[in-house]
Each structure stands twice: as structure tokens, then as C-alpha cells.
């Protein structure tokens, strides 16, 4: 987009000095400004929203923020829904403070009337981005150590949400995990469809709708009278680990069958080869995993995947139990790697 502004090169993207901005107040009460969308780097998009990288330059030259902004091209009826959802996400995020969950920074309304939620920048790449890149590079499963690190950090975030905040994330998947650097930090994002839990870890409002994303939904979320508990997140968490081991999307692995075939133009692709009935029959079940192809170093991750994806939610571990097991494993690894020298 053309602009008469003077550009400052910050090494990642360029921002015009005189870009029109909207003032708001951060969580700490400090006035901040949110640049117009064309002057921020787009990180990704979701249903009804776009996410941008906002570099904060000025006196404090603070750390960058991720800004989630309503897509104003949405239909009027949908726009109201997305604005309500983003407002609810901002309210939820304000009360969250955990190193494995992206933090709240500011909430305001842009000049075009769209809502803007500024959050901690947890990393330019989602776990899903890394999965796709690894697949494009012709690689196989992530190293077991990387998967176990993601498993532990995400489980810690879920334990905090479930036990301390009494919240169900409601949409666990690789897209909602952001990674900084070489797995230096791992954070859960997108709490926009979270649901309140009661003391028994059940969704407290009987009218509340579990949104989720279809391939990651547990069986109870697909049943009309299914009881949603914290274990719904655990099922989706297990499938997130499966994604890292298979580099595929749950129950849609059949779409990768033609990878070795002659390249076909996307516009010519048809749905005729997709078995919709088989797909819907698989939803809520544990997808196939070739353990032998992975090797023995993945044994603990495979066992965790099997436990978390049990169709009976009562048979799945809680996030706290997962954390305890993974921390014990990490401690055992540390102890066994120590070299004892005897004089």
C-alpha cells in the first residue's frame, strides 16, 4: 500500500512514522497507540479476525505485541458475533497470568469501529506453522525431546486454566500454540471460546456451547447430551501431540495420500475423493499411530497420547496428572544424564 510517510526499518517490517493510529490504555494504565492494519505485519487469521505484529517503538521501545483485530469485511450479523467474542476473550485474558499462556496487554476500538485486542507476542510461528514447514521440508516427526517439551509447557498452561481459573480452553490444537525460537518458549493462545468450569470440572452453564474445531473434538462434544468437562481439553491436547508425531491433521490424513502423485492445481481439486461418511465416523476417536515407525524414543509420548485420547473422558488424566508425570520424566532424564566421577 502506497504511503507518503517516512519509513523506519526495524529489521522485520517497516512502519510509517506518521501512520494514523488509535490511542488506548494498556493493562498497566499507560497510554499506547495501535497502528492501522496496513502498517502492521500480518501474522495470521482466524474466523472473523486477523492477527498482526505490532512493533512498539518510542521512549520505552518495549517488546512487540500481537494484535487481534476484527475483520470488518464480515457480514453485519457475523460482525456482531465476532466483536462479542473478542470482547469476552479480552475479559478472560485480563485475569490470566501464566508463563505458558499469552498475556493481556490492551483492548480498544479502532477508527473503523473494529475491536483490537493487544496481547503478549508469544512467537511469530504457531506450532501448526512449524508442522507444515517440517512436512514441506520432507521431514518426519519432531524429535521426541521437542514433543515432550511442548507437552509439558502446554499441560502446565492447561493445569493453570483448569485448576486455578476454572476455565476450559475449548479449542486446543496446534494452531493455538505459539512457539518462540527453537522451542525457547511455548505458549497457549486464543482463549476466545473458553468456558467456565464448576468445582467438579464440568462446564457450569448448561446453555454454553462448546465451539472447538471439528477434527479435535472429543466424542462427548459431538453428542447432543454429552457432558463437557476439563477432559475435553485433554482429548484435544492428545491430538496436538499426535500432530507433532505425524505432521498431519486428525482424521484428515487421507488428504495426504496423493503427496507422491503428480502435482495438481488447487483449482482442479474436487471433493469426490473425500469419504465424508468415514470422516464423520472417525470424529471423537483416537487416530491411527504407527508406533514402530517412530521408534522407542517416542514411547512415553505415545503412551501419553493413548491415555489422553481415551473415548471415555473419565479414563483421561487431568492436566495436573499430566504435568506431574512429565515433570517426573524430566527429572529422571536429568538424573540419568549426570556423570558421576569416582576418584
| DSSP annotation string for 76-96 | HHHHHHHHHHHHHHHHHHHT-
Catalytic residue among 97, 112, 137, 171: 171
Cα distances (angstroms) measured from residue 139 to each of 67, 147, 190, 238, 301 = 32, 15, 28, 21, 19
What's the burial of 200, exposed, middle or buried (CB within 10 Å: 0-12/13-18/19+)?
exposed
Q: Is 137 a catalytic residue?
A: no
Asked if 20 contacts 111 with a C-beta cutoff of 8 angstroms, the reply is yes
Whole-number CA gyration radius for the chain: 22
CA dist 100 and 237 (Å) reads: 14
CB 96, CB 139: distance < 8 Å: no
Q: Which residues of 143-171 are buried (b: 16+ CB within 10 A; e: fewer)?
A: ebebbbbbbbbbbbbbbbbbbebebbbbb
Buried b (16+ CB within 10 A) or exposed e, 4-41: eeeeeeeeeeebbeeeeebebebeeeeebebbbbebbe
Alpha-carbon distance of 14 to 7, in angstroms, equals 6
Residue 287: helix, strand or coil by DSSP?
A: coil
CA distances (Å), origin 341, targets 331, 335, 338 = 20, 14, 10
Does residue 70 contact residue 34 with C-beta atoms inside 8 Å?
A: no
Q: Specify whether the CB–CB gap between 171 and 190 falls below 8 A.
A: yes
The residues annotated as belonging to the active site are 171
Amino acid at each position: 500500500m502506497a504511503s507518503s510517510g517516512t519509513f523506519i526499518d526495524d529489521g522485520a517490517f517497516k512502519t510509517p512514522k506518521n501512520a494514523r493510529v488509535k490511542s488506548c490504555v494498556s493493562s498497566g494504565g499507560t497510554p499506547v497507540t495501535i497502528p492501522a492494519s496496513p502498517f502492521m505485519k500480518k501474522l495470521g487469521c482466524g474466523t472473523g479476525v486477523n492477527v498482526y505484529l505490532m512493533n512498539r517503538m518510542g521512549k520505552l521501545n518495549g517488546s512487540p505485541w500481537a494484535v487481534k483485530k476484527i475483520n470488518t469485511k464480515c457480514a453485519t450479523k457475523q460482525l456482531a458475533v465476532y466483536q462479542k467474542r473478542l470482547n469476552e476473550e479480552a475479559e478472560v485474558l485480563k485475569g490470566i497470568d501464566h508463563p505458558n499462556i499469552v498475556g493481556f496487554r490492551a483492548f480498544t476500538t479502532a477508527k473503523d469501529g473494529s475491536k483490537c485486542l493487544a496481547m503478549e507476542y508469544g512467537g511469530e510461528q504457531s506450532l501448526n506453522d512449524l508442522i507444515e514447514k517440517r512436512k514441506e521440508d520432507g521431514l518426519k516427526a519432531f524429535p521426541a525431546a521437542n514433543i515432550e517439551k511442548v507437552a509439558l509447557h502446554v499441560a502446565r498452561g492447561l493445569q493453570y486454566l483448569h485448576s486455578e481459573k476454572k476455565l476450559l480452553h475449548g479449542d486446543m490444537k496446534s494452531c493455538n500454540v505459539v512457539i518462540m525460537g527453537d522451542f525457547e518458549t511455548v505458549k497457549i493462545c486464543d482463549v476466545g471460546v473458553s468456558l467456565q468450569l464448576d468445582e467438579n470440572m464440568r462446564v457450569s452453564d448448561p446453555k454454553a456451547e462448546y465451539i472447538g474445531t471439528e477434527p479435535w473434538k472429543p466424542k462427548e462434544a459431538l453428542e447432543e447430551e454429552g457432558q463437557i468437562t476439563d477432559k475435553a481439553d485433554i482429548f484435544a491436547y492428545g491430538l496436538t501431540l499426535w500432530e507433532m508425531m505425524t505432521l498431519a491433521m486428525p482424521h484428515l490424513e487421507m488428504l495426504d495420500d496423493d503427496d507422491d502423485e503428480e502435482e495438481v492445481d488447487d483449482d482442479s481439486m474436487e471433493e469426490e475423493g473425500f469419504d465424508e461418511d468415514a470422516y464423520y465416523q472417525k470424529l471423537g476417536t483416537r487416530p491411527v499411530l504407527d508406533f514402530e515407525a517412530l521408534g522407542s524414543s517416542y514411547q512415553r509420548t505415545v503412551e501419553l497420547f493413548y491415555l489422553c485420547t481415551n473415548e471415555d473422558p473419565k479414563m483421561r488424566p487431568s492436566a495436573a496428572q499430566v504435568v506431574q508425570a512429565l515433570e517426573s520424566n524430566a527429572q529422571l532424564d536429568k538424573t540419568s544424564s549426570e556423570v558421576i566421577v569416582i576418584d
